[in-house]
Amino acid sequence: MGRRNRMIVPWLVLACAGSTAGASKKAFNINDDLLALPQFQVLFPDEYILDLHAKELLETRADSAAFDESPVRSEQTQVHLQDDTAENTLQQQQQQKGNADLTYEEMILDDRRYFCQIPLVASDDGNRTDEKEPTEADEKRELARATDRGIELLSEMEGKCLYFISGWWSYSFCYQKQVKQFHALPSGSGIPNYPPMEDPTTHSFVLGQFPDTDGYDGSDSESDRKKPTAEIAELQTKGGSRYLVHHLQGGTTCDLTGRDRNIEVQFHCHPQSSDRIGWIKELTTCSYLMVIYTPRLCNDVAFQPQQQEEVHSIECREILSHDDVPEWEAMREHQLSQQLVESAATSEFQIVGDVKVGAQKLVGSEGKRIEKGRVATAGEEKVDIVAKRENGEIKSLSRAEMEKFDLDPEKIDNLRKRLEELAEGRDWTLEVVTTNGERGLRGLVDADDDEEEEGDGQTGTAPETQAQQTTQQGGSDQAPQAQEEEEEVVGSEEKIFKDEL
């Protein structure tokens, strides 16, 4: 029951062999199954045939026309099908009537009898093995023609560049120029997302260059302009498909090998894609491989993918008697209802890695939103005030607000008391500072007016590893001692608190 696909059983293979005795063999291909040509697939439609009709067809070995006109397709034998389905099936059989004849076989599978119709595949004169084999000279001429044609098709890419981003590195391929590896600037602040812009502060490497056309006589003829590219171009075949290869040399000198970097660029026909870099990898030290998919090569049949072998369908229907039809239909109705129940019980959300996609359990609801990313420049600081004393009044974040910053309220309270002692009645500020992705605490103490007049009202700093805590001190005799105390006390608290950040 149900529509099924099965592997061809041995006896069915023999039946197919008998029905295709007139078919010639296909030319050898390493990817072909030698025992599966011509190719067949066995289908089990949700249909049945009465035993009397099956017996009649098996005895007479009627052709497909007899099968189409027989009561097998009558309403009596297909009452379980919708009218439009039966009509479409009949039309398909009539369309196939002129293309392929049918032969019939009976099969027993799982103690059930099946009536199978097997198409008689006509011989394919295009695959005759007795045809004259091409000579080596013919093959060389064809390879040269395909190579020249491929170079001509790719010439439309001249003056254009393709880009590929892979982690830290980005790559650019400029036809008739070079392949370059560089680090791209982060997008934002006037920097576009595409194409990637090279970061001038980091090293870049040329992986390979096209030959310099300036070395030729400057002729404007098309053949002369092709010479540099033709020297590095090669037509290769793999898995039955052909692609064009460019071997580029003259890259940046490799520190490990002492030789210039080189890269092999493969151009593959891809009719459903624009020009794009598929992938790039380093095969050996400073030797690379890049694959480019382009629809341009598809304009030549030499680079097009191989046509798939036609698969012929063998349809097998269960043979039933009149008494078995009601039970068969009842079983089918039960299976349809069971499928409906199972589909209704299926979760409406797809589960990926134990996560229900679209359920909004992690993000998407109130308080569970993904913050928008932002690009921070080097040295940029983000400052949030945790607590401060202003005009004798102390203000501080609430416990809930501190939890949003992942701060421990008890530790913040201890730091606030230490800062109050160091300030000695002056105003102060306790801040959370984020710089280059690192967070730390910083304390600022206002200087006295007298100290500012003396010009010593500078901000003393007590740096901590990946964090900052600074306190402004005056020019009194006690200032160095106060600053040293802050480094010892507040800084030690910061070191402990840094783990919590």
The answer to whether residue 8 is domain-embedded is: yes
Instruction: Decide if pLDDT at 52 tops 90.
Output: no
Residues 69 and 206 reside in one and the same domain: no
Per the model's pLDDT, the better-predicted residue between 227 and 476 turns out to be 227
411 domain-assigned: yes
85 vs 202, more confident: 202
What are the distances in angstroms from CA 358 to CA 101, 350, 371, 485? 52, 8, 18, 54
- In this predicted structure, what is the pLDDT of residue 31? 60
Q: What pLDDT sits at residue 370?
A: 67
pLDDT digits (tens, 9 = 90+) for 354-370: 777 877 777 777 666 66
- The pLDDT of residue 253 is above 80: yes
Residue with tokens 């009976």: 106
- Mean pLDDT across the stretch 282-301? 88
CA atoms within 13 Å, Cβ hemisphere of 249: 8
Cis peptide before 211 (omega within 30 of 0): no
Which pLDDT value is given to residue 90? 37
More confident position, 491 or 402 = 402
Res 464 pLDDT > 50:
no
Strands 393-396 and 350-352: unpaired
Q: Is residue 292 part of a domain?
A: yes
When mean pLDDT is compared across 32-41, 427-436, 462-471, the lowest value belongs to: 462-471
Q: How many helices (H) and strands (E) does the chain have?
A: 11, 23
Specify whether 285 is located in the same domain as 141: yes
403-427: b (≥16 Cβ within 10 Å) or e:
eeeebeeebbebbbebbbebbeeeb
More confident residue, 44 or 218: 44
* Residue 312 belongs to some domain of the structure: no
pLDDT at 494: 39
Please report the pLDDT score of residue 426 as a whole number.
84
Q: Do residues 275 and 149 both lie within one domain?
A: yes
Q: Tell me the pLDDT tens digit for each residue of 54-94.
A: 888 888 765 544 445 444 443 333 434 434 443 344 345 54
Domain shared by 327 and 299, yes or no:
no
- Of 271, 303, 335, which closes a domain? 303
CATH number of the domain to which 147 belongs:
2.70.130.10
% the chain with pLDDT above 90: 7
pLDDT on residue 241: 77
Claim to verify: residue 161 and residue 114 sit in the same structural domain: no
Which of the pair, 41 or 468, is modelled with greater confidence? 41
* Tally of structural domains, the chain: 4
SS (H, E, C) 347-367: CCCEEECCEEECCCCCCCECC
Is there a single domain that holds both residue 178 and residue 240?
yes
Residue 94 sits in the same domain as residue 41: yes
Mean pLDDT of the chain: 70
280 and 151 in a common domain: yes
Question: Does pLDDT of 353 surpass 70?
Answer: yes
Tell me the sheet residues that pair with 488. none
Domain that holds residue 337: 323-359
Q: In this structure, are 25 and 123 located in the same domain?
A: yes
